[in-house]
Amino acid sequence: MADKDDPRPCARCGYVNDKSHVYCIKCGAPLLNKCADEPGRIHKGCSFVNPPDAAFCAKCGFPTIFNREGIVVPHPAAAPPISWPIQIN
């Protein structure tokens, strides 16, 4: 799990933002994968911060902000398989 003090790479453009940034300063994408169930005037909301590969909130099952923006980071296990044999030059 990434440390809270780590720089935040943007899931959309890859720019590495400062740890204090909440939105990417290059493209405006959110850097924290919050639950999209945001608090409203009456509605309490959730706003749980999920890992960057979460398409749905771990706490309430609502789609995450990254899901809504289409920038969910694929899980490493879902990466395309490496083709063998690997060519070493």
Least separation, in Å, of the C-beta of 37 and Zn ion? Answer: 5
Tell me which residue of 37, 53, 46, 48 sits closest to 1, measured CA to CA. Answer: 53
Binding mask 45-74 for Zn ion (x = CB under 5 A): -x-x--------x-xx-x------------
Contacts of Zn ion in 9-38 (CB under 5 A)? 10, 12-13, 15, 24, 26-27, 29, 35, 37
Least separation, in Å, of the C-beta of 14 and Zn ion? Answer: 7
Complex with Zn ion: residue 46 or 88, whichever CB lies closer: 46
SS3 string, the chain, reads: CCCCCCCEECCCCCCEECCCCCECCCCCCECCEEECCCCCCCCCCCCCEECCCCCECCCCCCEEHHHHHCCCCCCHHHCCCCCCCCCCC
Question: Rule CB under 5 A: which residues touch Zn ion?
Answer: 10, 12-13, 15, 24, 26-27, 29, 35, 37, 46, 48, 57, 59-60, 62
